[in-house]
Structure 1
Amino acid sequence: MLPTLILVGLPVALVIIMLGLGLGLTVEDFRRVGRYPKAAVIALVCQLLILPAVCFGLVLAFGLEPHLAVGLLLLAASPGGPTANLYSHLFGGHVALNVALTAVNSLIVVVTLPIVANLSAGYFLPDSPEIGLQWTEVSQVFALVIVPVIAGMLVRARLPRVARRLDRPVRVLSIVVLLVIVAAVLAGSASKLGGYFAAVGLAVLAFNLISLLVGYGAPRLAGVEHRLATAAGFEIGIHNTALTLTVAASPALMNSVEMAVPAAVYGIVMHCTALTFGLLYTRRRVAAPAPPEPEPVPVQAG
């Protein structure tokens, strides 16, 4: 039952989540990146370059087993999840920047994720050349990520009333399906679950904390105002675990439930750390006027 659930459920969960993301996006969200160039560039550099490098150092420092190491690096290469928009909204971040970064990252990941997947698999699993993402697998990732986003954007543009009606059901369904899939992945490793948590738990926690701190601290050091830095912190600290789970565990892609364990653990840890981060850092009031926000953007589970 578990292999069938993973085979069918993971892609379905990802499609639902990315469709929900598309329902909350417009073309203007992509253009909005240019309105906050410093914050956007710093966030993208942190997301695409710094985090994978930091994660590589962590997996070496913690001596993770090869499959777990590759799984954590896959997570580092995954973009911020739509859940980042929710936390940014709750704790005073600039949601428009979150939406713009999520939109851009969801396109870029089709290129960057296969690169990280193949490099990490080649380094940690040199005796398993079949593990990786070839062109056919990359095209599947494209279909699972980009096509639902475009479909959701088209529905919002052409049928706005339908998009509004679908918003809540898609959000609820996204959460339910993702929770079921995370539970299935953990259940698939039940016999080794305690050992996996012991082996990867501290590395996942360290990576999550560093992601949040770098995401917020790097923009602030560069003079980016508080609300934009808060948005970047959540965008970089909250990854799209559904994408990582799908790529790692789906039999049509990396085909390793073990590789999916770091993402499943991260999906639990990140909510605790994100709440703590929000309470500690993002309740500050700044005297400078905040950049204008657009109308509230629907947020999805990620």
Structure 2
Amino acid sequence: MEASFFTVVFLPVALAVIMLGMGLSLVPDDFLRVAKYPKAALVGLISQLIVLPLIGFVIVKIIPMPNFIAVGLLILTLCPGGVTSNMISYFAKGDVALSVTLTALSSTITVFTIPIFTNLTLRYFIGTTSAVVLPISTTMLQIFVVTLIPIGLGMLIKQLFPELARRLEKATNKIAIAFLILIISALIIREWSRLPGFIAQVGIGVVLLNISAMLTGFYIGKLFNLSMPQRISIAIEVGFQNGTLAIAVTAGLLNNPDMAIPAAIYSLFMYITGFLAIRYGRRYARLYPSTQE
């Protein structure tokens, strides 16, 4: 499949704008706050960066699906938390500071891990002789340009021009939602004739992945005696993946929009479980206000 305006221009620009919006909401302390509660941050990062891909691997092995769908689903698990996870944590009465910290750290770490583990995934499911190749150094540079540089620029604007950053953050949040809708709509239109088959192939896997991710994040937090707000934030952070980045990697860098279908469907479904997390978190906070610390 040849490169198009959608994959070469629109996807990178959309992702850069979304990352800029994230940067406008961050301050340097968000990266340093891990020292304040290292256990919660470590539990969250391990759940997201290690446990989630393992869950994804088990799912693609037990649920029958084409190899390219399996690759797309696993690439999604390699991505950092979604840009809306902090907002969902806030509405769910979670630990917003922890959520922001996990988003910031995972967005930085995955610049280096996505190319490496995506290559391993391609070799396992597609084969070493496949024409689908992801150059590690080039991919790291591309992800760095469209993720970390906009985040850094957003943070710089927030430090130097806080009032401008506040106004821009509101605008970029709306633009981010619009971009996500446009990206998913474009994929749906392009694959309309094959969409029912795709949903049948990946639907069960997406549902299992999202529910398993959120429950696993929550109960791992419980296992390590984290507070309820911290458990809620970890569950949301693990369950809300950056679908736009996954689509940029699959449809953009790999130039295979079919692999982007799992991320597109997941990006829609995760808001259902996100709504349930908000209801649960707010109800718990109302019933047990003394535990919200």
Q: TM-score range by the shorter chain?
A: over 0.9
Q: Paired residue for 1:142?
A: 144
Shift of 1:5: 2.4
| Distance change (3 Å), C-alpha of 1:183 and 1:204 | same
Aligned runs of 1:40-51 on 2, under 5 Å?
40-51=41-52
Q: Which runs of 5+ in 1 are unaligned?
A: 292-302
- Residues 64-104 of structure 1, C-alpha deviation per residue, up to 9 Å, x if partnerless? 21111110001001111121111111110010100011010
CA contact (8 A) 1:73 1:116 kept: no
Aligned runs of 1:205-220 on 2, under 5 Å?
205-220=207-222
Shift of 1:243: 0.6
Amino acid across the alignment from 1:183: S
Counterpart CA distance in 1 for 2:4 and 2:219 is: 41
Q: Paired residue for 2:40?
A: 39
Counterpart CA distance in 2 for 1:156 and 1:278 is: 28
Higher helix share: 2
Q: Paired residue for 1:300?
A: none
Matched, 1:259 2:259: yes
Q: Paired residue for 2:278?
A: 278
Counterpart CA distance in 1 for 2:282 and 2:246 is: 27
Counterpart CA distance in 1 for 2:281 and 2:163 is: 37
| Distance change (3 Å), C-alpha of 1:35 and 1:288 | farther
- Secondary structure at 1:7's aligned position in 2? helix
Shift of 1:282: 5.2
Would you say how many aligned residue pairs link Structure 1 and Structure 2?
Answer: 289
Shift of 1:229: 0.7
Identity of aligned residues (%): 36
Counterpart CA distance in 2 for 1:289 and 1:265 is: 35
Counterpart CA distance in 1 for 2:61 and 2:256 is: 20
| Distance change (3 Å), C-alpha of 1:103 and 1:138 | same
Shift of 1:131: 2.5
TM-score w.r.t. length of structure 1? 0.92
Counterpart CA distance in 2 for 1:3 and 1:192 is: 20
Amino acid across the alignment from 1:24: S
Shift of 1:129: 4.7
Shift of 1:228: 0.7
- Residues 232-291 of structure 1, C-alpha deviation per residue, up to 9 Å, x if partnerless? 1111110111110111101xx111101100000001110011112332355213454544
- Secondary structure at 2:18's aligned position in 1? helix
Counterpart CA distance in 2 for 1:84 and 1:283 is: 19
Q: Paired residue for 2:173?
A: 171
- Secondary structure at 1:128's aligned position in 2? coil
Aligned runs of 1:84-103 on 2, under 5 Å?
84-103=85-104
Amino acid across the alignment from 1:203: G
- Residues 118-166 of structure 1, C-alpha deviation per residue, up to 9 Å, x if partnerless? 1110000003153324311221111111000000000000111211121
Counterpart CA distance in 1 for 2:38 and 2:283 is: 24
Q: Which runs of 5+ in 2 are unaligned?
A: none
CA RMSD of aligned residues (A): 1.6
Counterpart CA distance in 1 for 2:38 and 2:142 is: 32
- Secondary structure at 1:283's aligned position in 2? helix
Counterpart CA distance in 2 for 1:205 and 1:226 is: 24
- Secondary structure at 2:284's aligned position in 1? coil
